[in-house]
Amino acid sequence: MLADCSEFADYLENRKGLSKNTQVSYLRDVEGFLDYLVEGELLDLTKINVKTIEGYFDWLESRHRSPSTKVRTLASLRCFFQYLVLRGTLSTNPAKLIHPEKTKKKLPQILTGEEISLLLEQPDIHDLKGVRDKAMLELLYATGIRSSELIQLNVEDVNLHTGSLTCKKETGARRLPMYPAAVAALSDYICRVRPLLINDAGGQALFTNLNGSRLTRQGFWKIVKGYAQKAGITKEITPHMLRHSFALHLLENGAGLKDIQKMLGHADISSTQVYLRLMDDENHFKEVYNSCHPRAKANSGLQR
């Protein structure tokens, strides 16, 4: 039995190259499995077989774990046992013989074009906070980046001259275009407002809180939720809904699935194909957008 999971954690980060969130999930799942083994006095990892793993999933079932949790747990255990094979502890991976439950993926929630417009109109651009918030909302919808990626942006990641943004991740970087209204809002914020907010704690952070430190994901979530309530949007809105809306609106207006995959930074196109299912939803809205984005050719008067 492993004394701890530190070596496995190193394997996930340096050999598998998984994201921080995935690493945390895998480690939590494996630690739960190891706790189950200890409780059952199954202390020899070389004795673990298919029946042992099936017993664990029966145990998860008795505790009403969701199908999606069990599917992820199986992925975590497969990775863990593969690590043990590479390390020489085991000769085969017993988790490979376990078949995952089929789960029906929930379709993502989407904002309509009208709701997007309402949301973007809410910040008061006559005060510092409003200018910053306007820039963040426009940027999120213009590029489809995750809220976690947005708060990690630095000033150097923005090129106002070319109207583009470089989004950096552990697995690489992607360069994304921005529509003119987003560039204008971002330019206003960077040139006029950010110098009044930033302090040493903020460093090179593109977006800061009103105390001058880098904005947190929780802080941004509250900002989005507040403007949604102000706009009278009744959906349970999250920052990720702007990412979903960005993707679907482009797809509805002719953008290719592979192009959207690259813009979203999806490693597997199956993650992008969920938007095709939304396209087939008979209750889904259909609007006419300009050049694959509803704000791509916004009134030139919005530019500054």
225 catalytic per annotation: no
C-alpha torsion sign, points 123, 126, 129, 134 = positive
Q: Pick from 207, 292, 247: which is nearest to 109 by CA?
A: 247
Q: Which of 28, 175, 240, 262 is catalytic?
A: 240
275 catalytic per annotation: yes
C-alpha span between 292 and 300 (Å, rounded): 18
- Name residue 252's amino acid: E
- Name residue 122's amino acid: Q
Q: Which of 28, 129, 168, 169 is catalytic?
A: 169
C-alpha span between 14 and 170 (Å, rounded): 11
146 catalytic per annotation: yes
Q: Which of 244, 275, 293, 295 is catalytic?
A: 275
169 catalytic per annotation: yes
Rg of the chain taking only CA atoms, in angstroms = 23
Long-range Cβ pairs for the range 149-152 (8 Å, 24+): 150/207, 150/220, 150/239, 151/205, 151/207, 151/214, 151/215, 151/216, 151/217, 151/220
C-alpha span between 207 and 198 (Å, rounded): 9
C-alpha span between 159 and 163 (Å, rounded): 6
Helix-helix angle 217-231:113-121, to 10 degrees: 110
Long-range Cβ pairs for the range 252-255 (8 Å, 24+): 252/279, 252/286, 252/287, 252/289, 253/288, 253/289, 253/291, 253/292, 253/293, 254/292, 255/292
**How far lies 86's CA from each of 23, 165, 239, 292, in Å?**
18, 40, 40, 47
Q: Which of 134, 243, 244, 295 is catalytic?
A: 243
Q: Which of 28, 129, 174, 266 is catalytic?
A: 266
Q: Which of 134, 146, 214, 244 is catalytic?
A: 146
Active-site residues, by number, are 146, 169, 240, 243, 266, 275
